[in-house]
Structure 1
Amino acid sequence: MTKDHDDGRPDPAHRRPEGMSDTAVEALGALSKALETTERARGHLYSFHQLTGTADFQLDEAVRLLREAGRPEEAERIRTELVGRNVTPGHWTFQLVEEYDDGYYRPFAALEAELTDRLAGGRRHLYEAELKQRRRS
């Protein structure tokens, strides 16, 4: 955890390297914000994955109850048409999560880290640290 210094400036880990422009700080801030949005999207994708899996298992109860109610045809339709069904052709939700992680999320996070290292010496959240400093009363 970092702390502010008595002089009101951000701690050294959150100070821009010498010569780094305002625009470069702003650009890394925008990139960081985009990554944070992607993190949220990824969380929703995991929610989709878990909720879809839960719904699939809940179908078992519907099948059981329909059979118990003397409705074997309806139970069988659910079992054959819905239980274990692909959400997109050839894919269950875990495969969508894997494709998103491998094809989008990981390259996104890696590029954000690479550019933060290259442009800011690995110092993260410079834009936010400076915003915090400006907004203090």
Structure 2
Amino acid sequence: MTDSPSGPDREHRRPAHVDDRTVEALGALSKALETTERARGRLYDFHQLTGTADLQLDRAVRLLEESGHSEWAEKVRSEIVGRNVIPGHWTFQIVEAYNTTYYEPFRQLEHSAVQELAQGRDHLYEAEMKESRRTRGHSDHTARPPRAADDPSDH
């Protein structure tokens, strides 16, 4: 790839020693991490939804008591409010274990691979795909975002 302003910026051009298979492998690794990011988001959804449901039980308990069903109010309070979602765990503990055991090691490994194999240049696969798919000269297919006149970032 050239240094032309019509191509990717320096941070998105592959270093000379990086071959096609390495770019493809780093792209696959990055995609897997992105999928893990989505899974992690769903884990946080689970965490927040479960916590919200637990807090909403307070209203159910109050309404059961007010409507004369104190035995059911006590049953809900003692059986469900504050209950572990899996043995010994509330959802925050599941999130913490996931982050420590899987997410952070994966994120650090992907970052290290990009640093070592591509001089820290992230998204090379996507940048090259963009170059192959864009229509040169079309105003909505530019290689880069507009640059401020005083931005020396690609020199």
Match of 1:19 in 2: 17
TM-score (norm 1): 0.94
Q: Structure 1 unaligned runs (5+)?
A: none
The 1-side partners of 2:12 and 2:86 are apart by 44
**Match in the other structure for 1:103:** 101
Determine the C-alpha separation between the residues in 2 that align with 1:18 and 1:62.
Answer: 65
Q: CA RMSD in A?
A: 1.1
The answer to whether structure 1 residue 91 and structure 2 residue 89 are counterparts is yes
Q: Tell me the CA shift for residue 37 of structure 1.
A: 0.6
What one-letter code is carried by the residue in structure 2 that aligns with 1:58?
Q
**Structure 2 Cα separation of the partners of residues 11 and 76 of structure 1:** 64
Alpha-carbon offset, residue 66 of structure 1: 0.3
d(CA) in 1 for partners of 2:92 and 2:113?
Answer: 30
- How far residue 121 of structure 1 moved from its aligned partner, in angstroms, is 0.4
> Where does residue 9 of structure 1 map in the other structure?
7
* Equivalent-residue separation in structure 1 for 2:33 and 2:12 (angstroms): 18
Aligned amino acid, residue 40 of structure 1: R
TM-fit CA distance, 1:5: 4.7
Structure 1 residue 55 and structure 2 residue 74: aligned? no
Letter in 1 for 2:92: F
- Give the aligned length: 133
Query: 2: CA distance between counterparts of 1:67 and 1:20?
Result: 69
SS at match of 1:29: helix
TM-score using structure 2 length: 0.84
Structure 2 gap ranges (5+): 136-155
* Per-residue deviation, residues 18-60 of structure 1 (Å, max 9, x unmatched): 1211010000001001111111111110111011000000001
- Structure number with the higher helix fraction is 1
Deviation at 1:104, TM superposition (A): 0.3
Report the Cα offset of residue 9 of structure 1.
Answer: 1.9
Percent identity of equivalent pairs: 65
Runs of 4+ with deviation above 2 angstroms: none
